């Protein structure tokens, strides 16, 4: 899934993951499959925004495996009912959708869990973004693929949201003793908070899977937020609009075009050389919206 652009620059096509609409959220969701099936869970409760890739992957998973699903969504209900992209896919599943304010998410998820239990079901509580050890393990395993590919990246750049993808890659780098530096381009959180969350999850993964914890510097750049999640500037929009003609891949303004723009700016500013791998985490449905 590594696509070479030139001798020293390649793209990892996580957007081509073949199940549940693709992308890192679909990969993380499928990584949970054995846990959900072996635990005999009959329903899943999770949360996200109205265009959440994670909620789309969860809803499609539940449809595929005949599980009940409750999505606790924060955002504008009217937009959800009319927009395309992930919102449309979610609407076309049997997912039960609950709308709430951001400060009510935990309460609404707890309510949904209790409702399922009252019906005699065994619900699975899934944190937003697919933030699980199993999901992180999927990215530990991918580093082995990278090592076997023949392309040895000095740097990996990716969109960083909940941080579990970045933490998984870092744990994989530790396990397989690579010297690759991972730079996350934040799509919504400020640097200090992001780096703290990633460090904590990296440590959890290393402990759970008996990996030497040897990464000390977690790097997240937050200077390309453009005001926050789903916000972008003219340069990011231009990258998104030109991504097919220049690179043959879709880059959306919420995640991947923002990360690509951040990568370009950091390379120029720091005069980075060496092999660079851009991790296309997905976002095709954000692109179409």
**Paired strand residues for 155:** 181, 276
Helix, strand, or coil here: 9? strand
Pick the catalytic residue: 4, 43, 52, 160?
Answer: 52
Of 105, 103, 205, nearest to 164 by C-alpha is 205
Q: Centre a 10 Å sphere on the Cβ of residue 278 and count the other Cβ atoms it contains.
A: 25
**Is 63 considered catalytic here?**
no
9-13 and 2-6 as β-strands: parallel, antiparallel, unpaired? antiparallel
| Exposure string over 2-35, b if 16+ CB within 10 A, otherwise e | eeeeeeebbbbebbebeebbbbbbbbbbbbbeee
Q: How far apart are CA 8 and CA 86, in angstroms?
A: 34
Residue 285 belongs to what H/E stretch? Answer: helix 284-288
**Contact call for residues 139 and 169 (beta carbons, < 8 A):** yes
**Contact call for residues 201 and 131 (beta carbons, < 8 A):** yes
Residues belonging to the active site: 52
């Amino acid at each position: 899934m590594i696509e070479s652009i030139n001798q020293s620059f390649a793209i990892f096509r996580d957007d081509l993951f073949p199940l549940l609409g693709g992308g890192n959220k679909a990969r993380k969701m499928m990584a949970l499959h054995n846990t959900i099936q072996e635990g005999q869970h009959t329903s899943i409760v999770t949360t996200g925004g109205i265009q959440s890739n994670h909620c789309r992957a969860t809803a499609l998973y539940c449809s595929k495996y005949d599980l009940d699903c409750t999505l606790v969504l924060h955002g504008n209900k009217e937009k959800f009912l009319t927009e395309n992209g992930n919102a449309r896919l979610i609407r076309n599943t049997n997912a039960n959708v609950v709308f709430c304010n951001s400060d009510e998410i935990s309460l609404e998820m707890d309510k949904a869990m209790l409702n399922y239990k009252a019906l005699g079901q065994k619900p699975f509580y899934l944190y937003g973004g697919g933030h699980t050890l199993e999901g992180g393990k999927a990215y530990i395993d991918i580093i082995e693929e990278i090592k076997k590919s023949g392309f040895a990246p000095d740097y990996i750049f990716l969109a960083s949201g909940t941080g579990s993808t970045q933490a998984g890659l870092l744990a994989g780098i530790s396990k397989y003793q690579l010297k690759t530096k991972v730079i996350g381009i934040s799509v919504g959180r400020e640097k200090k908070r992001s780096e703290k969350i990633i460090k904590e999850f990296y440590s959890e993964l290393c402990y759970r899977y008996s990996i030497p914890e040897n990464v000390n510097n977690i790097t997240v750049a937050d200077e390309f937020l453009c005001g926050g999640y789903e916000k972008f500037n003219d340069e990011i929009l231009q990258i998104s609009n030109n991504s097919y003609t220049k690179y043959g891949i879709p880059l959306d303004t919420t995640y991947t075009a923002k990360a690509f723009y951040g990568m370009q700016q950091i390379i120029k500013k720091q005069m980075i050389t060496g092999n660079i791998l851009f991790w296309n985490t997905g976002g095709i449905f954000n692109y179409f919206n």
